[in-house]
Chains A and B, each alone.
Chain A
Amino acid sequence: MAATQEEIVAGLAEIVNEIAGIPVEDVQLDKSFTDDLDVDSLSMVEVVVAAEERFDVKIPDDDVKNLKTVGDAADYILKHQA
């Protein structure tokens, strides 16, 4: 069953917490991965791979550069999840 936007944000929050140590409550739709959440380009690859596995979605490398904020990622996953 497809995840809701709320579930996706909660999932992304857990992933970002695991990788960058940011508290889950700080991971909000408007937050930038690089500017607000200490996720650099290498860690972003980890976030993407973890999100692919969790939400059963493929995020090609070319699309990753467009995922600036948590909201961008949540929308992408919402649209593309199986």
Chain B
Amino acid sequence: MSPTNRTVVVTGIGATTPLGGDAASTWEGLVAGRSGVKPLEQEWAAEQAVRIAAPVAVEPTEVIPRPQARRLDRSAQFALVAAKEAWADAGFEAKAGDDPNVDPDRLGAVIASGIGGVTTLLDQYDVLKEKGVRRVSPHTVPMLMPNGPSANVGLAVGARAGVHTPVSACASGAEAIGYAIEMIRTGRADVVVAGGTEAAIHPLPIAAFGNMMAMSKNNDDPQGASRPYDVARDGFVLGEGAGVIVLESAEHAAARGARVYAEAVGQGISADAHDIVQPEPEGRGISHALQNLLDRTDLDPAEIVHVNAHATSTPAGDIAELKALRKVFGDDADHFAVSATKSMTGHLLGGAGGVESVATVLALYHRVAPPTINVENLDPEAEATADVVRGEARKLPADGRIAALNDSFGFGGHNVVLAFRSV
């Protein structure tokens, strides 16, 4: 097979999310329909219009040694926890080279976040103002740089084929995985650790998103606040965490006898060129991304049974995505079980594409679509356009090859659609 058309598979998964400290507990929470949203108890939250968020279930400092943790931004801590889990899950026992099954020169890392080391930046600015120049941590720059999580994961696994950080707001995690698929498909690498991370539960991002009117102010009902497709949805709930997968060429995985979760079929990418933050209401850019996916891969729409939707619980965005799916796939969209897992995890911004790729891969592997929770009154436009999995998880077809999509869109008009397929 030509090095520009290699088959790419998923051989490892890892996550740390509001639902659990690893991929297994996260998946269990998703299938059970559990919400990770909580009231913000910090003192600074009292004066905010938004006083809810979805923090990680397990603090990363419980698993990363303190001397290492204090040199890592919180977003890099999440990425490292998820990447280490995915790396071990893929069957690697040490970093590349020390484990003879992977050549460091053929290993890449692509981890993205939407905002980068924002808590480090803001905390160190507080140190500068309160304690003076001399007290600013010498680790500040490597902690706040947006490529910090990717570089630290690359160091941990010994990746020398390339370490990258695509930044596209809330599409960043998905774009990272798309980039990783291309690295393998085009022959630059045999194995790539890829995903997204975000740690932005801090007064400034919350005030800023809140003032954009982008977030839910349903402070009295935290667990019911993230409600994609419900008529009463009023914005997203900020989540934090990371999701990371190990991608590998099919030949490389077969040669070492690796377990394969799914095939990573490919990605469709586009830009809206419509507005810096508003989604194009008819989903034109999303349609373009979906069409690119179909044109550039051998994905068969008849095999698609599940969509992990971007659906952040905003009035306009949720419907535009469903319209695009219907426009591009027509009657085939009738057999798409559409799940909005942000109803449970909140919106992890740049981490979303990583965590939701983990969820999409596990949905194919276990043949179960997680539910969309909190849909009490389904928006009639959603009902007319798509089959939303509501309330409880739903079994996917037990036999035959099935495929699933993971959509991610970001401020700036970025659209990224990833496709996975059972093996």
Contacts and interface: CB of A to CB of B under 8 A. Distances in A.
A50 B51 CA distance: 36
B71 to A, nearest CB: 8
A46 B134 CA distance: 10
Contacts of B135: 49
Contacts of A45: 138
A63 to B, nearest CB: 15
A18 to B, nearest CB: 8
Interface string A28-70: 0000000000100011011001001000000000000000000
Interface residues of A, number: 10
A42 B67 CA distance: 13
B137 A20 contact: no
A10 B135 CA distance: 22
Given A21-B65, A46-B139, 18 more contacts: A19-B67, A19-B70, A20-B67, A21-B66, A21-B67, A38-B67, A42-B71, A42-B138, A42-B139, A42-B142, A43-B71, A43-B138, A45-B138, A46-B137, A46-B138, A49-B134, A49-B135, A52-B134
A43 B139 CA distance: 8
Interface string B135-162: 1011100100000000000000000000
B70 to A, nearest CB: 8
Contacts of B138: 42-43, 45-46
A43 B70 CA distance: 11
Contacts of B137: 46
A52 B70 CA distance: 20
A52 B134 CA distance: 10
Contacts of A38: 67
A20 B71 CA distance: 10
Contacts of A52: 134
B201 to A, nearest CB: 26
A71 B137 CA distance: 25
A46 B139 CA distance: 9
20 contacts: A19-B67, A19-B70, A20-B67, A21-B65, A21-B66, A21-B67, A38-B67, A42-B71, A42-B138, A42-B139, A42-B142, A43-B71, A43-B138, A45-B138, A46-B137, A46-B138, A46-B139, A49-B134, A49-B135, A52-B134
Contacts of B67: 19-21, 38
A49 B131 CA distance: 12
Nearest to B142: A42
Nearest to B70: A19
A38 B142 CA distance: 18
B67 to A, nearest CB: 4
Interface string B94-130: 0000000000000000000000000000000000000
Contacts of B71: 42-43
A45 B70 CA distance: 14
A21 B65 CA distance: 8
A43 B71 CA distance: 9
Contacts of B139: 42, 46
A6 to B, nearest CB: 25
Nearest to A39: B67
Interface string B45-73: 00000000000000000000111001100
A36 to B, nearest CB: 15
A10 to B, nearest CB: 19
A67 B139 CA distance: 20
Contacts of A46: 137-139
A13 B142 CA distance: 26
Contacts of B70: 19
A21 B68 CA distance: 9
A19 B71 CA distance: 9
A42 B139 CA distance: 7
Interface in A1-39: 19-21, 38
A25 B139 CA distance: 26
B130 to A, nearest CB: 14
Contacts of A20: 67
The 8 A-B pairs of least Cβ separation, nearest first, read A21-B67, A45-B138, A42-B138, A20-B67, A42-B139, A49-B134, A21-B66, A46-B138
